[in-house]
Structure 1
Amino acid sequence: MIGAELATLLTGSSGFVGAALLQCLRGGGCDVIPLIRTPDARPSGSVSAVSVGEIAGTTNFAAALVGITTVVHLAARVHVMHDTDVDPLVAFRAVNVDGTLNLARQAAVAGVRRFVFVSSVKVNGESTQSGRAFTEIDAPTPQDAYGQSKHEAEQGLRQLAADTGMEVVIIRPPLVYGPGVKANFAALMRAVQRGWPLPLGALHNQRSLVALDNLLDFIVTCVTHPQAANQTFLVSDRHDLSTAELVCGLAQAAGVPARLLPVPVWALQAGATLLGKGDAVQRLCGNLQVDIAKARILLGWVPPVSVSEGLRRAVSGIKNNEKNV
């Protein structure tokens, strides 16, 4: 049980992670209030949801913060594959930096004790060398506007914690998968389920992922654990996979054979470059590993869900969605 004494304000409650976290917090007995943009965005059963409009540097959050002890901030302008903004960094900063710090400042004034910020592994960077995982003490090397905005928000939150005494916890997850996942991971699951041959059999890279249920469990740990105060954490399933292993795991979860073609990495990269998909293939071919020793040692946290079970739940979720269409 999380405890009803923790009155928690949750942003981003309509998103992939947020909707699941809302149910998780409620199930743990937490008094959780979703922060929503408009009244018609109210989650099912959330009679106490508070509508404040867009999260921005000028938004007034006072009504939402009354009686709140903890804020879990998930809402963000997310990574955009084909951004059409003239200056993407300005657009990302407006929400991810200005909006986040405005909410945090008002939270501190309102007496909130802890502010949990879900950032991104993109603050660390886009890739790692073989056998060298990211850690929390590595110098940040964000490579795009999204990662840069998250880095700037982290910096502002740490300064705010030092200035006000409000506890800040920063979580940097890698790719999150689970029931309801969308975008490239969902497309890969569908391709595997349909038995499409995939030219990924020669990929022996290593990538850290985090199952939705593991991330939820870790967020709850960061809400409640005394030692989490004013710390930054990387989080993952603690079992990294190559892209080929991921395809095999998805196939096993779906009960279908994995159809992998051993196309050389150089050929994949050359073909992708010609098609303008070089960045996407780099994510499939490259390494991105995180070390979660800090979470394990400081908080005693161990991922409760195995990779195989996480993949099974993700595949089951996409099957259920297709049945309901």
Structure 2
Amino acid sequence: MSQHSQVIAIEWRQQTLQLLDQRILPHQQQMIECQTAAETANAIREMVVRGAPAIGITAAYGIALDALAGRDLEAAYKVLAESRPTAVNLFWALERMAALGTSDGEQLLAEARRIHAEDIAHNLAMGQFGAELLGNNATVYTHCNTGALATGGHGTALGIIRSAWAGGKIKHVYAGETRPWLQGARLTAWELMQDNIPVSLVCDGAAAQLFRAEKPEWVIVGADRITANGDVANKIGTYSLAVLARHHGMKFMVAAPSTTFDLSLNSGNDIPIEQRPMSEVTSLQGIQIAPQKCQAINPSFDVTPAELIDAIVTERGVIHQPSVATVAALLDSH
């Protein structure tokens, strides 16, 4: 059975960047064309593309767009760097492009293509490492979207689920809806259904009851930034799942490429948490659901402490019981 996803979310075609508009999935499948770094930054900010690895890949192509057209690359780097503050892959990709020290469009495009191809290869490696941690006939719970839509292809947490399914190890997947953008409902459920992987959608608030009644073996999630001590910033709602999993005797796995580690930060207390507009909470697809002028808080991410995480799976291998020492041991060995 093939473990490759049927979904393509990022594509370089005829000297333009094509992005699958994730705001209107699953009901419409439409590609948006970006021809400048500014348009690319806007697509990242407006959630046309989301997921830390996908944001990094997209930003790299954004630099290539402006380089090919002979535009000011300093301005291109700046507009892209300001698009989303929490996803460290964005800054990693921009720094890698800048490190070439060239404004040659073809060279920068080749590097963006390499970043894209490496991400897919890393996801496939992660998929194998993570699948090996699962027992047979496993039921798992996942949060947000970490699949081909959020990466260069295959996925991180969803890539592990995809690989485990291909290996006959997954019985069923529970996908949390992931308010307020509903990435679990709109994207993860859709992606799993495209690949005929059995999935049940779960209201975020029903996770505790599900864990008590069904006892899935693992919660498997992605990450947007991981600090030196193994604390993990991920989509809002991840922290509460980790607390629930620990209480119910379940295992908690984070899947992320090594580029997601930010060793300049000692702990999760140092991670900048993106605050998004109140309207994302008070309305749904443009329809007001809360009283007019109702105040809301809308952090896009939360931080899960390392002590609640059983394993961080990377393309280089698995970090068991994350800590300063175990994180350094894996990253330093490469």
| TM band (smaller chain) | 0.3 to 0.5
Structure with higher Rg: it is 1
* TM-score, with length taken from structure 2: 0.34
